[in-house]
Amino acid sequence: MTSDTAEADTALRYEYDLDAAPSKVWRALTVPEFVARWLLPDPQAPQEPSRISLEVIEADTERFVRYSMREDDEAVPDSIVTFRIDPNGSGGTTFSIVHEPVALAKPISRTAANGNAPPTTMRLAA
């Protein structure tokens, strides 16, 4: 993949073809019990796992979900992880992952709903 800046090259990018249908992959990414199974540390692991918190930033059903990921270990930078789901034409899914440090992620512009901002920004209720 190409990028606009040299800094963006530090993002980790992966793409996989899965046999599972997009709806099944979507469930794995959004049902809390399934997400905990494969994205969060195993509590039964012998070493003390760091705590990870995930928060959905943005989602489009069965197309993509974007998480803010934070670890309690201050040595690990906060990051944004985007999972993209596309049908692959054979009943399966093309599954893309982009994991980028927060410093490189594009900020989401937010203003108060009653502000005088242009209508292109995301607005938050006061």
What are 100-111's pLDDT values in tens digits?
Answer: 988 645 555 555
Tokens 């999972």 sit at which residue? Answer: 83
The two beta strands, 52-60 and 12-18, are: unpaired
Q: State how far the Cα of 42 lies from the Cα of 50, in Å rounded to an integer.
A: 10
What's the confidence (pLDDT) of residue 36? 78
Q: Is residue 92 very low, low, confident or very high in pLDDT (cuts 50, 70, 90)?
A: very high
Strand order in the sheet with 93-101: 12-18, 93-101, 79-87, 64-71, 52-60
Q: Which two tokens mark 39?
A: 């994205």
pTM over the 0.85 mark: no
